[in-house]
Structure 1
Amino acid sequence: MLAKGCHAVDADQLRAARTALRDSAPLVHCLTNTVVQTLTANVLLAVGAAPAMVDAPEEAGEFAAVASAVLVNVGTVHARTAEAMRIAARAAGEVGTPWVLDPVAVGGLRFRTDLAGELVALRPTVVRGNASEVLALAGAGSGGRGVDSTATADDALAAAEELATRTGGVVAVSGEVDVVTDGTRTVRIGGGSVLLTRTTGAGCALGALVAAYVAATGDALGGAVAAHAHVALAAEIAADLADGPGTFAAQWLDALDALDGDALGEADVRTS
């Protein structure tokens, strides 16, 4: 049973989450878009998790049932992968495997928007997206400009709280300051770097990292917060060392790997 609504997200919890991830090495089943598969796999490996890219409908349910967590990312979805996503989400729900929905570019395109609506009805453990995607998924907006948000995380807070209440899970909204809510408590995570927005797949990889942390901790809110804090802190380290977006991507992977529990406990995390 995933923990919800029982404690604040504090430095001790963040440190424990980092240790739990390293110790448990969760297997994350990624049904994700073709643009980001390599970066997503490398991010999971860097933090100590294990990636698997299994997106055939014939295998998706079987694998989702044995994985530690599942990521469903609709970035380059088509009919065959959409069916695999439905199967995997249902299988995860049946056996209690935590799963994360990343509604990439939902709102502007009917096929993915309708699919995301079906997936929300299957009650994801965490929904992770930008503000425009969350607004559209909650029925409070029409989406952003492709994968780019035209709203801030705080603009989407009320929609995120409603969506979290509807699914019984957690909603994480990425932005200049990330916002994570379970419908009752709201956590804001500061930090990061603008270079994340110039690195293809950084947000999608974050969805996979959320899945890994939730699996490792058994805590939907705390795991989602730890993942966002890990990404933000590593981005700050990488930005200080990088000459631009190309070297940033490599430095970011190195920083994700090197960041330990003590460092994660220093993250800019505020609970309300």
Structure 2
Amino acid sequence: MNTRATTVHLSPSEALTALRDAAPLVQCITNAVVTGFTANVLLAIGAAPAMCDLPGEAGMFAGLADGVLVNLGTPTAEQRDAAREAVRATSAWVLDPVAVGALPVRTALAAELLEHRPAIIRGNASEILALAGAGAGGRGVDATDGPDAAAPAARALAVRTGGVVAVSGPVDLVTDGERIVRIGGGDALLTRVTGGGCSLGAVMAAFLGVCAPLEAAVAASALYADASERAAALSSGPGSFAVAFLDALDATAASDLDARVALTAVAR
């Protein structure tokens, strides 16, 4: 099994510098709607994307990759089998439980995959609540709850899996079951571009190649917040934002990230 997820503790700025130096290889078993955008996001941050989701290859590739994303947005039978292979071959993987709770096939698959202990679970508040058994899910892929409402469920999931849970929203919340970190900022135009949230999971998988899960999730969220604000300032709508966002991910200075992060609670 690939256990490349490192225990080195880095600040967001240090993590981004390390990622750009290392160019981690990221395997994506992901939503068919977002593969192109996800690949471009990974290239923009300095990672190397590989959309390897065929049964018979997925497990083999996961053993080589520095980080793996398993996104349940369009879980075909082949993708479900590929995901099962991949999570048995690596510990450096991210679960994105898209629309879990609202739809039965992916909900059952998410519960099965959860037993293989993802390093990071990334979702919106409604998805995290549903995955923890504390809610019924949102409106399809859209959340109907806020990150703070999902904080107890996120902490419980982190304790159960031994990993990290990242709840995306107006202020992102990341927890390892003990610490809770909030990352402010970002722009709402991210919610009007297909792949905005799905690609964040891939960025977290990239950071797993250079730092520990909590730091990976925090660094990815800080980078996303910074780049989305820069892109929105140059955009006239969702179309121009999508292009400007890729440019901003490439141009963001590592030194801009640390001020966005606040350790706001320590769980007892």
Choose from 138, 144, 161 the match for 2:138.
144
Q: Does 1:224 align with 2:217?
A: yes
- CA-based RMSD of the aligned residues comes to 1.3
Amino acid at match of 2:110: A
Does 1:195 pair with 2:199? no
Please say if residues 218 and 261 of structure 2, whose CA atoms lie closer than 8 Å, have aligned partners that are also in contact: no
- 1:151 deviation in Å? 0.3
- 2:179/2:263 contact within 8 Å kept: no
Q: Which structure dedicates a bigger proportion of its chain to helix?
A: 1
- Unpaired segments ≥5 residues, structure 1: none
Distance in 2 between residues matched to 1:157 and 1:2, nearest whole Å: 26
Contact 2:66/2:208 (<8 A) preserved: no
The answer to whether the 8 Å contact 1:46/1:256 transfers is yes
Partner of 1:234: 227
8 Å Cα contact 1:229-1:269 kept in structure 2: no
Deviation at 1:267, TM superposition (A): 2.3
Shift of 1:14: 1.5
Shift of 1:78: 1.4
The residue aligned with 1:24 is 22
5+ residue gaps, structure 2:
none
Aligned 1:89-238 pairs, distance under 5 A: 89-93=87-91, 98-217=92-211, 219-238=212-231
Amino acid corresponding to residue 267 of structure 1 in structure 2: R
Alignment of 1:234-253 (within 5 A): 234-253=227-246
Question: Which digits, 9 at most, give the CA deviation of each residue in 1:200-236, with x for residues without a partner?
Answer: 110000000001112122x110111000000000000
One-letter identity of the residue aligned with 2:40: N
SS at the partner of 2:200? helix
Counterpart residue identity of residue 71, structure 1: L
Distance in 2 (CA, whole Å) between partners of 1:243 and 1:59 is 42
Match of 1:50 in 2: 48
Distance 2:122 2:258 in 1: 22
Q: Compute the TM-score of the two structures, normalised by the length of structure 1.
A: 0.93
Deviation of 1:2 after TM superposition, in Å, equals 4.1
Identical positions, percent: 59
- Work out whether residues 191 and 268 of structure 1, in 8 Å CA contact, stay in contact via their aligned partners in 2: no
Matched, 1:77 2:62: no
Could you tell me how far 1:268 is from its partner in structure 2?
4.4
Amino acid across the alignment from 2:225: A
Instruction: Name the SS of the counterpart of 1:136 in structure 2.
Output: helix
- For residues 257 and 208 of structure 2, the distance between their equivalents in structure 1, rounded to whole angstroms, comes to 16
Q: Which amino acid aligns with 1:126?
A: I
Runs of 4+ deviating beyond 6 Å: none
CA distance in 1, matches of 2:15, 2:191: 26
In the alignment, is the contact (CA less than 8 A) between 1:180 and 1:188 conserved in 2? yes
Kept in 1, the 8 Å contact 2:28–2:68? The answer is yes
Superposition deviation, residue 24 in structure 1: 0.6
Report the secondary structure of 2:63's partner residue: helix
Q: Distance in 2 between matches of 1:231 and 1:175?
A: 12
